[in-house]
Chains A and B, each alone.
Chain A
Amino acid sequence: MKFIGASIKRLEDPRLLAGGGRYVDDLAPPGTVHAVVVRSPHAHAHVRRVDARRALGQPGVLTCLTAADLVGVPKIPLRQPGKPAHAAYLQPPLAGDTVRYVGQPIAVVVATDRVAAVDARELVEIEYDVLPARIDLDDAGPLLFPEGNVADSWTTTLGDVDATLRDAACIVRERFYVGRQTAAPMETRGLLAEWEAHTGRLTVWGMTKVPYFNRRTLAAMLALDETKIDFAESDVGGGFGARGEFYPEDFLIPYLARRLDRPVKWIEDRREHFLAINHSREQQWSVVAAADERGRLLALDATLVNVMGGYLRTHGVWAAALTASYLPGPYQWPSYRCRVSCVMTSKTPAGTVRAPGFYEGTFVRERIVDLLAARAGLDPAEMRRRNLARPDDQPTRSARSPPRSPGAPPTSPARTSARCSSTR
């Protein structure tokens, strides 16, 4: 029988449709206790004092974890290739003396039930010196990191853009902006961690997407042998690129399970989700492009400001790197330049969401192609027909990869060349 190519019904659906799904919050080993995260209400502030005494006095409250408990715990590392200079911008699992976005975790309260934990969260007293936030990039704004507000910048070039622009028949200039967005899976993030003291083993549910990197990261942060950690499968209510990366809670909840020797559960609420999960897409663009009088594309010269948040998370500047690498798209551009800068702000840190870099770059490029078509007096379809690398029915040939960038993009050379030779 042929099974590949057959539209059989999804095997997992009867169970899920009949309510038989087991998501993280459906799992409750005996003795499970509940964690809630105390988050910054300020976008930029010094934390002067965290006082959990009143919270700890509440019935059912077991502990309140703060940065003072985590001395020596490393920051959350990059999963994608990065540069040594990125290290200064990485996020610690709990804020120490500075918070850099609304929603940054400062403490975790654990109680025997969720209601007690939520109530006790209100009693954690935190004193702040509020600092100016950096939201609008048009203002100079405050310095967010001693190393500067630009976490990375580079230029990707192919050919002589400046010379081409000088002589071209049709030139267009435009500014673009892509708004900040995220993924909103039906199931918010959630974790359950169980420590087995007599074997020294940790089991974690809710680590979806990239469990093996997350396990290595957790092992390093807990100073625990990786083979002592199991990530167990559960049903998952959507990911879309944002859910399942390594976030502060992915360290905090397993850490607390080991420390308390109790199963610890944390379920993100929806308001928390929008503040805590990776944001993505926000970019500002200034583009000049040229074509000849017959509509043949000549030059694409782009300046991209990738708007980061308060820290670099596991993706680092990957979304910006993808954008610059694939901006030329399926067309033949004799010359191309993309000047990229990744600018820190006082917003939730940025990562990826479905089609990162491609969604944004395709918007910019395809608008430019239409603008050049109008300038050349061509229908948009005809403009593309004249410029697609192979406008025949050879899809894998017309899917042209972009030029290799000599301007030291923040990707490992192996990775860059792999991506650039991906024409097949």
Chain B
Amino acid sequence: MFEHALKAGRYEARLAKCRELNAAGGDVRYGVGLAAVVETSGSGPFESAKVVLTSEGRIVLAAGATSLGQGLPTTLAQVCAEVIQVPPGDIAVHLGDTRWMPQGVGSSASRSAVMAGAAVHQATTRLREQIVALAATRFEASPADITLEDGAAYVRGVPDRRCSLREIAALAGGPLEVEYRHETTHAIGSFGVHLSVVGVDVTTGEVRPETHFVLCDVGRAINPTIVEGQLVGAVIQGLGHATMEELVYDSSGQLLSGTFMDYAMPTAARVPSVELLVHEAPARSNPLGVKGAGESGTSGVGAAVANAVADAVGAAAARHLPVTAPRVKAALS
């Protein structure tokens, strides 16, 4: 996997290009930095999910994990949809709401897709079994011959023997509800590689990230676009932490960088190209094979940027993160 990252991240070619640019002289020196990372995800002790077939035939999904903008309602709806074959957009999702899900943990430490995903998968699988059993009785068929498709149960190969989920709820005499608690004592480890290319202006000390490549093992991507979005966002946040963001205090304890004028964050104009290689080596500890993807895009950024700065202008400039311009300039003089 490391070799794969070197190849996909074009390590040798980029190193050669930096050497060539540096040989030509100029105020900007270029460097390449590597970092190998281990991340953990999917920590315990548990997460809960509940899936309901309402008497109107709707699917309602609840979990203890919370939606913070990371795309979790969609991700969990996809897991539920896969099992019960209802379009994801037709599933109502309630996250981190104690009125819907009285027991749970929440979203931290790259755990939601792993823990809540597994809980949703197990709860929905059990609900599916109940639906299939009701349809099998209704059609006097074997449960093995019942299939779910587009919000209804069918006898396989006999499309007119169809029973909507609303009719299933009526057969059940009311709503069906399954709650499942997915427990674990083991977090999941995953490997990743970061490769950063930076230019360092030796007259100002400014570090400009040129490219940041990440190879990340996510186990299995439930929604590849969401995973990529998480990774790109994580890299950019990491670049902010590596090159500009800092809470600076004076000697009396006053916070000097307490506004967006002073606490510099990466804006679109400062963001380099981010290259991703998403590796999927399924985890064995959960039914979906998922590993967390929330943090591995951040964890190696400071390391790879610092190594690239050291490659460009020497180790003295790479002792302190973030590698801000004044700090790098001071190290070079």
A interface residues, Cβ below 8 angstroms from B:
1-12, 42-44, 101-103, 133, 135-136, 174-182, 184, 207-213, 215, 227, 229-233, 235-241, 243-244, 270-271, 274-275, 279, 281, 326, 329-331, 346-348, 353-355, 358-360, 362-363, 365-367, 370-371, 374, 380-381, 384-385, 388, 391-396, 398-402, 414, 418-419, 421-424
Contact = CB atoms under 8 A, between A and B. Distances in A.
B187 interface: yes
B125 interface: no
B237 A240 contact: yes
Interface of B: 1-4, 6, 11, 33-40, 43-44, 64, 66-69, 71, 73-74, 77-79, 81-82, 85, 88-89, 93-100, 102-108, 149-150, 185-191, 217, 220-226, 234, 237-238, 241, 245-255, 257-260, 263, 265, 279, 281, 283-285, 288, 294-296, 298-304, 306-307, 310-311, 315, 318-322
Contacts of B71: 10, 12
A400 B222 CA distance: 25
Contact of A43 (B220, B223, B254): B254
A48 B11 CA distance: 62
Contacts of A4: 78-79, 82, 220, 222, 288
A408 B33 CA distance: 35
Contact of B105 (A212, A348, A359, A395): A212
Contacts of A380: 33-34, 307, 311
Nearest to A176: B319
Contacts of B281: 394-396
14 contacts: A1-B81, A10-B74, A11-B89, A42-B253, A184-B265, A211-B106, A212-B104, A233-B100, A236-B66, A241-B108, A270-B260, A395-B217, A396-B283, A423-B189
A321 B191 CA distance: 20
Given A101-B253, A230-B99, A424 B188 contact: yes
Contacts of A231: 96-98
Contacts of A391: 2-3
Contacts of A10: 71, 73-74, 226
A101 B258 CA distance: 14
A123 B224 CA distance: 54
A367 B196 CA distance: 13
Contact of A366 (B36, B97, B257, B285): B36
Contacts of B310: 367, 370
B237 A395 contact: no
Contacts of A396: 189-191, 217, 281, 283
B25 to A, nearest CB: 23
Contact of B321 (A179, A374, A388, A402): A179
B34 A354 contact: no
B68 A209 contact: yes
B11 A398 contact: no
